[in-house]
């Protein structure tokens, strides 16, 4: 079975541009979460979606937005890019939100974003 897939794998943008990152969860998983990982740090939570509804939001500015589609895939959008947005963006999927093993998150390979 395919794991979590993300596209693109790498992306180079300039300041002020916007970017859209895509994620497909593991088959049967209904929840998708997005994380930002800067070099030398652990991943930081951005958003979680379950059944197409936002279930949680981390401490990120409104320039960051996301949505989940009926097939449970998801997009992360970042507007007005800043140099500090350069990071590895990770998507994770889980079965649902009933606690315990249902919420265990499995990560994709990430999208490496470089903002110049």
Interface residues with other proteins (CB under 8 A) are 4, 31, 33, 35, 40-45, 48, 55-56, 58-59, 90, 92, 94, 97-101, 103-110, 112
In the complex, what is the shortest distance from the CB of residue 92 to other proteins, in angstroms, rounded to a whole number? 8
Total Cβ atoms within 10 A of residue 51: 12
In the complex, what is the shortest distance from the CB of residue 16 to other proteins, in angstroms, rounded to a whole number? 24
CB closer to other proteins out of 3 and 16: 3
Distance CA 12, CA 114 (A): 5
Distance CA 7, CA 29 (A): 18
For residue 2, what are the β-bridge partners?
none
CB closer to other proteins out of 77 and 104: 104
CB closer to other proteins out of 45 and 67: 45
Q: How many CA atoms lie within 13 A of 61 on its CB side?
A: 8
């Amino acid at each position: 079975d395919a794991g979590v897939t993300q596209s693109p794998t790498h992306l180079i943008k300039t300041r002020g541009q916007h970017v859209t990152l895509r994620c497909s969860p593991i088959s049967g998983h209904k929840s998708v979460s997005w994380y930002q990982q800067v070099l030398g740090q652990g991943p930081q939570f951005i958003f979680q979606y379950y059944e197409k509804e936002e279930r949680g939001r981390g401490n990120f500015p409104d320039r960051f937005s996301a949505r989940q589609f009926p097939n449970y895939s998801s997009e992360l959008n970042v507007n007005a890019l800043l140099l500090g947005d350069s990071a590895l963006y990770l998507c994770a999927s889980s079965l649902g939100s009933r606690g315990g093993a249902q919420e265990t998150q499995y990560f994709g390979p990430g999208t490496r974003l470089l903002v110049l």
